[in-house]
Amino acid sequence: MDLENQQRVKDLAEEHGPENMLVVLGGAEAEASGLAVETVTNGDPTFAGPLAGVQLGLACYHVLESEIKEAIDEDVYEEQISMMEMVLDVDDIIEEVKTYREKYSKYKL
């Protein structure tokens, strides 16, 4: 997760409280998605950004996960996301995101 986004997440969490935040990921790749979850929960694993050593424990899901998918208007999801769902390795992504969430998230949906 780039340094600007880390700063944004950090600022928002300070402003609204981490318990009131939900991060939705849209990354196309499992490893990067996992790292993003780690960054907003346990801190930046590369230790390069503002979230280095900051354990926000935010609730974090990938847009392809059923929890998010079900909350989105079906037509919108169909139009915006379903194409990608067919070409991505959805299981891998969900598995990875879930693993980190279960390990580090303090908050849930």
Q: Which residues bind another protein (CB under 8 A)?
A: 3, 31, 35, 45-50, 52-53
Are the CB atoms for 93 and 64 separated by under 8 Å?
yes
- Residue 85, classed as helix, strand or coil, is helix
Q: How far apart are CA 69 and CA 81, in angstroms?
A: 9
Q: How many C-beta atoms surround the C-beta of residue 30 within 10 A?
A: 20
Closest CB to another protein among residues 103, 108: 103
Closest CB to another protein among residues 52, 71: 52
Are the CB atoms for 1 and 36 separated by under 8 Å?
yes
Tokens linked to 102: 């279960």
Question: At closest approach, how far in Å is the CB of 31 from another protein?
Answer: 7
Question: At closest approach, how far in Å is the CB of 96 from another protein?
Answer: 12
Question: At closest approach, how far in Å is the CB of 61 from another protein?
Answer: 21
Question: At closest approach, how far in Å is the CB of 92 from another protein?
Answer: 16
First-to-last alpha carbon distance for the chain, in angstroms, is 22
Closest CB to another protein among residues 14, 29: 29
Closest CB to another protein among residues 18, 49: 49
